[in-house]
Amino acid sequence: MPRMSQDAPTFSPLYRQIKALITQALEAGEWRPGQVIPSEQELAVRFGVSQGTVRKAIDEMAAENLLVRKQGKGTYVASHNDPRALFRFLRLVPLDGDLSHPTSVPLDCWRAKAGQEASRMLAIEPGAPIIIVRRLLQFALKPVVIDEIYLSGETFQGLTAEVLQSWNGSLYSLFETRFGLRMIRAQERIRAVAADRNASEALKVAEGTPLLSVERVTYTYGDKPVEWRRGLYSTAEHFYLNELN
Amino acid sequence: MPRMSQDAPTFSPLYRQIKALITQALEAGEWRPGQVIPSEQELAVRFGVSQGTVRKAIDEMAAENLLVRKQGKGTYVASHNDPRALFRFLRLVPLDGDLSHPTSVPLDCWRAKAGQEASRMLAIEPGAPIIIVRRLLQFALKPVVIDEIYLSGETFQGLTAEVLQSWNGSLYSLFETRFGLRMIRAQERIRAVAADRNASEALKVAEGTPLLSVERVTYTYGDKPVEWRRGLYSTAEHFYLNELN
DNA sequence: AAGTGGTCTAGACCACGTC
DNA sequence: ACGTGGTCTAGACCACTTT
C-alpha cells in the first residue's frame, strides 16, 4: 500500500492520484472510446492499491461522463458514438414533445487565420491556421440552428467539406473517430439577438426575429479548448432546456 | 444488519432507504436549514446500519445540494441564506467580469385565480388562489431582469407587498425562512422574444429589442412544483452562462 | 460456473476544527 | 484531547452478464 505524497501542502488523496493515472491512460489512447477498460481488480493490482480505492476513482470519472459503468459487463470509455451522448451538449427541445433526431447539414468549410477572438477562445497564436465550418441543424427537415464553428487547423488537419458531407453522425463523434479528440465538457454563453440577413435566410425567418445566440467553448482533457462555435437558434418551435440542481 | 426488502422487483439498496429516511426527517423539519445534522456515527446507530452506509446516503444528498459537509465540523442542512447559494439558480453574468450582487426590487404583488397555464405548472386546481409578484432585478443599479412570479396562494399565505419590501435577501431565502419551503431544483425553458411595451419600459430598452425569455418551474421535496416564473433578461451587458458536463 | 460491477461491513488512520 | 468528516483497506456477499 503505497502512501505516495500525502503530506505536502498540495495534498491529494490516493484515489485522486489513481484518477489522474487512469485519465492519463485514457488520454494516451490506451483504451479507445466504446471499449472496456480493465476490471477494478486488475487496475487495483496494477496501481498497487485496494479495489475500493480504484472504485472511488472510477466513481468520480463516471460522474464526469468520462467512463460508463455496466454492471456485470465492465467499465467502458464514454463515446460520442453512443446515441445517448447526443443530447448531452444539445439542450434544444421541440415545444411539442416530438423527439425526432436532428440532422446536421454542412453548408461550408474553409480555412483562415485566427483573429483576436478565435485565438483567445482556442488558446492558439493569433494568425495560426483555423478551420471554419458553417452548418445547419434540422429537426424534422425544418431549419432550427445555424452554427459557425471554429477549429484549430493544427489539430484538425484533413478536415474538409467532403469529410463532413460523408459523415453520418454527430460532429463530436466525427472528431472522436477521425481525429481522436474527445469532447469532455463545454461552456455556453447565451444572449438574445436579432436575426441578420444571413441568419434569416438560413433559418427561414423574418429579418430581425429574436434568436438565441449560443456561444460554446468545448474542452478536451486537461481543460484544453478545442472548439469555439456560435449558434443562432430559432425558438419559434423549440426551446433551450436547462436543469438547475 | 437489517437486510430490509432486498429481493423484490423494486429493489433498492440500503443506503437509498437511509437516504429516504434522512430526506423525510429533513422534510418534517427535524433539522432546519443552516443547522448541523447528527454525526454519521449517530445516524448509523439510529438507523441500525454501518457508518459507511450512512456515509454513502449523505454523499448522494450532498451531491444534490441538500446537505453540505464540512470536515471537522459536521454535516449541515443546505440553506438559501448561504450567500453561495445565490448563483445556484441565477445563471446571469456581466459581460465584463464585474461580480456585484444583484438587487431585487419588488414592483407589485397581487392575488388572482389560477388559469390554465398556472394550474398546470403549479399542479393546483384551476381557479385556486394564486399570488403574482412582479419584480425587477438590478445589477449595479441597472435593470437587467423583469420577473413575473406565480405562487400557490395556499402555501404562501401572508405574502404581501410589505413582506417583500422589508426583506433583505433573495426570494428563496424568504420562502425558506418565512414559509419553510426549500427550493431543491428547477427547470428552465429559454427562448428569444422581442421586448413588448411593458418590458421595454422596465428594462429601459427599445421596444422590439431581443430579450431572453426564461420560464422556470421550481420544485421542493418530492418533485412538488411550488413556483412558476417567467423572466425577461436584457442581454445587452449580461449573458446566461451554462456549464455542460 | 466464472467474472464484472454494486453493496455492506468493520476497523484503522488522516485532516480539520474546537475546546 | 476529542469529535467530525475524509481516506484506505480487506473481506463478504449480492446482482447482472456471459460462457
CATH code for the domain defined by B83-240: 3.40.1410.10
Q: How far is the CA of B94 from the C1' of C4 (A)?
A: 49
Q: Quickly tell me which residue has 452548418 as its cell.
A: A135
pLDDT digits (tens, 9 = 90+) for A44-75: 999 999 999 999 999 999 999 999 999 999 99
How many CB pairs below 8 A link A and B? 95
Q: Does the CB of B241 have a partner CB in chain A at under 8 Å?
A: yes
- pTM value surpassing 0.75: yes
CB contact under 8 A, B212 and A193: no
Give me the CA B184–C1' D10 separation in Å, rounded.
38
CA B117-B120-B123 angle, to 5 degrees, is: 140
Domain ranges of chain A: 14-77, 83-240
Is there contact between B1 and strand C, defined as CB under 7 Å from any strand atom?
yes
Q: Residue A245: its chain B contacts at CB < 8 A?
A: 64-65, 185
CB B110 within 8 A of CB B131: yes
B43 CB neighbours strand C below 7 A:
no
Per-residue model confidence (pLDDT) at position B86: 83
Is there a contact between A211 and A92 (Cβ–Cβ < 8 Å)?
Answer: no
Residues 5-34 of B with CB under 7 A from strand D: 6-7, 11
Burial of A69: CB neighbours in 10 Å, binned 0-12, 13-18, 19+: middle
The verdict on a CB contact (< 8 Å) between B210 and A233 is no
Q: Which three cell numbers stand for residue B79?
A: 440553506
Q: How far apart are CA B145 and CA B231, in angstroms?
A: 6
Alpha carbons B119 and B158: distance in angstroms, whole number: 20
Which of A15, A191, A196 to mutate: most B Cβ within 10 Å? A191
Query: What is the dihedral sign for C-alpha A193, A196, A201, A206?
Result: positive
Q: Test A191 with B239 for CB contact under 8 angstroms.
A: yes
CB contact under 8 A, B192 and A64: no
Whether residue A175 contacts residue A183, with contact meaning beta carbons closer than 8 Å, is answered with yes
**Which residues on B lie below 8 Å from A88 (Cβ)?**
244
List bases in chain D with any atom under 7 Å of a protein Cβ: 3-11, 14-18
Task: Determine whether the distance from the CB of B197 to the nearest atom of strand C is below 7 Å.
Answer: no
pLDDT in tens, B18-69: 999 999 999 999 999 999 999 999 999 999 999 999 999 999 999 999 999 9
Q: What is the mean pLDDT of residues A173-201?
A: 96
Q: What is the DSSP string of B126-150?
A: TT-EEEEEEEEEEETTEEEEEEEEE
- What phi and psi, each to the nearest 5 degrees, are found at residue B162? -65, -45
Contact B185 A245 (CB under 8 A): yes
Q: Out of B91, B194, B244, name the one closest to residue A88 (CB).
A: B244
The answer to whether B187 contacts A89, with C-beta atoms less than 8 Å apart, is: no
Please give chain B's pLDDT, 245 residues, in tens: 333 433 345 689 999 999 999 999 999 999 999 999 999 999 999 999 999 999 999 999 999 999 999 999 999 999 999 888 888 999 999 998 777 789 999 999 999 999 999 999 999 999 999 999 999 999 999 999 999 999 999 999 999 999 999 998 899 999 999 999 999 999 999 999 999 999 999 999 999 999 999 999 999 998 999 999 999 999 999 999 999 99
Query: Rounded to whole angstroms, how far apart are CA atoms A209 and A211?
Result: 6
Contact flag, residue A74 CB and nucleic strand C, below 7 A: yes
- Flag whether residue A97 sits within 8 Å of chain B, measured between CB atoms: no
For A9-56, give the secondary structure using H, E and C: CCCCCHHHHHHHHHHHHHHCCCCCCCCECCCHHHHHHHHCCCHHHHHH
Cell readout for A190 is 447565451
Its CATH class, for the domain covering B14-77, is: mainly alpha
Q: Are A159 and A180 in contact (CB under 8 A)?
A: no
Question: From residues 97-156 of B, which are strand D contacts by CB within 7 A?
Answer: none
**Integer Rg of chain B from CA:** 21
- The answer to whether some atom of strand C lies closer than 7 Å to the beta carbon of B73 is yes
Average pLDDT over all residues of chain A: 93
